[in-house]
Amino acid sequence: MKRDKISITEAELEIMNVLWASGEPMTAQQVSDTLHGKDWKYSTIATLFSRMVDKGTVTYEKRGRFFYYTPSINEKEYKTHETKNFISNLYNGSVKNLVASLFESKQMSAEDIDEIKKLFELEE
């Protein structure tokens, strides 16, 4: 990612997730159809896209009378960036404190713990 700070709202992130999952440019209507659980009007999605273009998180191309939107930021890079910010802001940069918090919350299953162990084994 080129910028240090990218501000994406929760609503924008839902749209970004649809675009990332698609892997293809999409129209606002296609995104709306994909977000079938949401009660968003087409105009809401169009407004969100306009803001996202202004922020530089998506680009668009006009084909005929439709605008096709594409993410301008990589999903993995964005999530890595946000994870680093999360750890820095909530855990003073300590991954150890994050992991301790996960264990203490009792949110991790035995499968989760096994998978984390395997990840650490791959790093050795």
Q: Which 3 state secondary structure label does DSSP give 54?
A: helix
Residue in the structure block whose two tokens are 């191309």: 61
Q: Which 3 state secondary structure label does DSSP give 115?
A: helix
Give Cβ neighbours of residue 75 (< 8 Å, ≥ 6 apart). Answer: 16, 20
Instruction: Evaluate if residue 40 carries a pLDDT over 80.
Output: yes
- 124: confidence class by pLDDT, cuts 50, 70, 90: low
State the pLDDT at residue 1.
Answer: 47
State the pLDDT at residue 3.
Answer: 52
- The reported pTM is 0.80
Q: What is the spatial distance between Cα 114 and Cα 48, in angstroms, rounded to a whole number?
A: 40
At the second CATH level, the architecture of 10-71 is Orthogonal Bundle (1.10)
* Encoded amino acid at 119, one letter: L
Are the beta carbons of 18 and 35 closer than 8 angstroms?
Answer: yes
Q: What is the spatial distance between Cα 106 and Cα 102, in angstroms, rounded to a whole number?
A: 7
State the pLDDT at residue 9.
Answer: 95
Domain coordinates in residue numbering, the chain: 10-71, 75-123
Instruction: Evaluate if residue 26 carries a pLDDT over 90.
Output: yes
Q: What is the spatial distance between Cα 14 and Cα 31, in angstroms, rounded to a whole number?
A: 10
Instruction: Evaluate if residue 116 carries a pLDDT over 80.
Output: yes
